[in-house]
Structure formats: structure tokens, C-alpha cells
Amino acid sequence: MTIWTPNLEQFPGPRYQALATAIETAVRSGELPPGSRLPPQRDLAWKLGVTVGTVSRGYMLAEQKGLLSGEVGRGTFVRSSNDDSPAGEALGELAPVQSLRLPGLIELSHNEPMLPDYDPILRRSLRTLAARGGLEHLLGYSRSLGDPAHRAAAAQWIGRTGLKLSPEQVIATAGAQQAIAIVMTALVEAGETVLVESLTYGGIHENARLRSATLHAVAMDDHGMLPEALDEAVRETGSRIVMLQPTIHNPTNATMPQERRQAIVDVARRHDLTIIEDDVYGFVVTERPLPIASLAPERTIYITSASKCMAPGLRVGWLAAPLALIERFADAQHAIAVNNPRLNQEIVRQWIEDGTAATMLDSLRTETAARQILAAEILAGYRMKSHPASLHCFVELPEPWQSNDFTAQALMQGVRIAGCTSFVPDHRQSPAPWVRISLAPSPSREELAEGLRRLRGLLDRRPEARRGVV
């Protein structure tokens, strides 16, 4: 057994993702050579101060990337180049790269809309709150539904999408991820099948796994989920829930036109489906189709947040639903978190009401459009799915590149991006030869441009199809 204890602090993201990245880094650098046996999950969990479940998810993610193999009764091992599985072959094809530049890593894997003027905005907000006084109520418990003023501000903000809500229909959550967890807890039975797009946000996979639910992939095209494929999937699985992202889909950037949305609603009504609409990117689009929730308010659970349009670190999100379901979701919210930080919700309420949120959104749109142009220029000649308001672009890899190989080599060149593996609902599916490149998290356009140039260099320097050498 290899005595290996990674330092997760140097890797971003949730602990399990940081562990998977640490494994990937150690494998590519030779710190964990082929055939190495990783520490038992319980031992590593104790050393890292995390749960066994966190280590298990990290190992599973690394295994999905083709880095590890688990053997019942023996343990978890680093795949070797003579492994005859597809993943083992992919690992063996990678040439070692000596210069691993993690200290100067360019992070292009997270859609984090950080803007340079956040500091003065937050300082001004906190001064305003401090001058107001009487803030002790923000430190106590609130109802799981959220404070009435916060719910009213959320309904006002969501109204910008064309979806008209009463404050009573809104629940304040700690981001969209928690909103998904609340809905899954309240509506999805253990072992139940949930219909999703053929590529879908990784957070949905995590929540489904925790609920022991099965995700069933539904075919999509450049306009999102196909209504006829949804109809067929319902007949095949008997599922009663479909979850989709119709506006700036993550990762493909697909946006459903209004006619497609209506067709999806027609299928849902025909089969009495509940629709869960993830609209976290909906605010960044200036002219957009109406949310599905506005077309089918009686059966749609609408989820959004301030993370992609204001600031992700505040962890403020919202769940909107028919009034008949609100108390059910409130019970699930209480079971998960009792209630959410009222101070963060108060900051967002202030931003919505005084116009700061709208100003931040305008700045984000301007910056995002400029970065999309930059990406199109540097990656010209390669097929790319994008949107002027999107925080990322989706790029097709030339043959014989595969998604996991390319992301691993990009990491060796000091650029972290997301491959298709984390978006595939069924880990038995082979990831498509595409990668998602986030354009938002870099602190400067110059650093983003440098990261894109390194990726362009990898795209141009294709591995040899026969020998697999970069």
C-alpha cells in the first residue's frame, strides 16, 4: 500500500473534487506510479479529516477519469499502461510531462463570475447595514421558507426573466445546489428514475447518488432536450420527473426556443410529469424565451440563484413552486439546514432593491461578451458551442484527442478545464470528445488569453493516432 496523503488545500472545489484532482496530479507527475495501491478509504478519510463518503466520491471520480481501478477485496490501484481496458489504454497513451505548474495554475474549470469591483461594492453594502443598526435579527433563526422581505426581493428579481411570482411561492436557499437537494429530498424516492439531458450539470449526479436515484439520459440537440425523446423516455421508464436546463445549458450552451419549451410542456402534461427547471444562467441573457415555469406553473419547480449573476460566495439561491408544494419543500429545507444565513440574504436583498444587482449584471454581461470574443479569436478554426452571455464555451476536440486525455495534458500545461466525464449522467457511457472552458474565473483577460493560448497549442499539437504520443 502506498503511503500517500495529499494536501487538498492547494486544489479548488469541494473536497471530493479536490481529492480527485490531487490523484490526477500525482498520477501524471509520477508521484503515484502505475500499479500503486491507494490508502484504504477509511484511513485516508481519518488523515484528511473528511468523511469516508467524501473519499469514496473522490476515488469514484478519479476512476471515471480512467486513473484508478478498484478490485473487490484488494483495494484501489492506479491503472497501468498495460491495462487492456479503454481507460487503461487512454492512460498509457499519455506521454509524461515534467513541468507541472500548479502554483501558477490558470483555473478555467469553474463558472465563477468574479468582477474587479466586488470589493468596493461589498464594503459599501456592509457600511450601509452597519449604519442602519438593529441587525441582531439577522443572527437568529428564521423560518425555513426565508424572511418575507427576502422572498419578496427574490420574486422581484426573478420577475426580470418574465416569470411572475408571489413572494409566498419562493423559498430562500443556500444556492441552487441546495435547492436541487431540497427538491430531490422532497420528491424523489430511493431507486426512482429521474429524466435528464444527455449531458447535465454534475451537481445533479451527486444529488441523485445521495438519494439512490437513477438518472436516465434523454437525447438533445443544439436547442436542448428533444420533446419526442422525452416522450419515449417516459414510456420506457415510467418516470414522473424531468430535470432540465433550458437557458444556456451547462455545458453545451444550448438555449431552447419558445416553441421547443411549449413542446416539452405538452409532453409533460400528457404524461403528468413534474418539471424541475434549472435557470441559474437565465439572468445573464438580455432577450430570452420565457421560463418553462411561466408556461406550466402548475407542474414546474423553478430553481435559480445569485451565484452566476452576482456573487457565488454568498450562497444565495431560490426555489419557486406551486403553493401546494411549498410547505413540503420547507420541511425538506429544515431537515437539510434548519435555515440559511439571513445576513447573506439581506445583502442580496439590498443589492436587488438599490439597483446594485442590476449594475453588477450589466458589468458581467459586458465582460462575458468580451471574453467570448477573445475565446473565438484564439480558438478560431475549432468547432465551438458558445453564447455571447455564457460564462463558458464548449469545444470539440480534433481526433484522436479524447476528453480525459486532453484535460490531463492541459493540467500539465498549467490550465485546468472540465472534460465531458463529469457531465455524463451514466458513468458507463463514454464521454464525448468535447471540453468545457470557463471564461469567467480568471482575474484578468490577459491570464485568460494565456490559458486559451496554451489550450490552442495542445489542440494544434495532436497526439499521433497510432502510437498515442503527444
Max distance between CA atoms of the chain, in angstroms, equals 70
Q: Name the one residue in this structure whose C-alpha cell is 451547462.
A: 250
Q: Please state whether 94 falls in left (phi above 0), alpha (psi between -120 and 50) or beta.
A: beta
The pLDDT of residue 432 is: 83
CATH of domain 8-92: 1.10.10.10
| Superfamily, domain 106-111+358-460 | Aspartate Aminotransferase, domain 1 (3.90.1150.10)
What pairs with residue 70 in β-bridges?
76
For 361-372, how does the pLDDT look when each residue is reduced to its tens digit (9 = 90+)? Answer: 999 999 999 999
Q: Name the one residue in this structure whose C-alpha cell is 434548519.
A: 338
What pTM value is reported for the model? 0.79
The pLDDT of residue 202 is: 78
The pLDDT of residue 236 is: 96
Domains 8-92 and 106-111+358-460 equal at CATH topology level: no
For 4-29, how does the pLDDT look when each residue is reduced to its tens digit (9 = 90+)? Answer: 889 887 776 778 888 988 998 888 87
- In one-letter notation, the amino acid at residue 79 is R
The pLDDT of residue 464 is: 53
CATH 3.40.640.10 fits 136-354, yes or no: yes
List the domain boundaries for the chain: 8-92, 106-111+358-460, 136-354
Divide the 470 residues of the chain into consecutive groups of 10 and give the mean pLDDT of each group: 78 82 85 88 88 85 81 76 41 37 73 80 91 82 80 96 95 92 92 94 81 91 97 96 96 96 98 97 92 97 94 92 93 85 92 94 92 96 95 94 85 86 75 90 85 95 49
What pairs with residue 393 in β-bridges?
437
Buried b (16+ CB within 10 A) or exposed e, 47-63: ebebeeebbbbbbbbbb
| Helix, strand, coil percentages for the chain (3-state, nearest 5) | 45, 15, 40
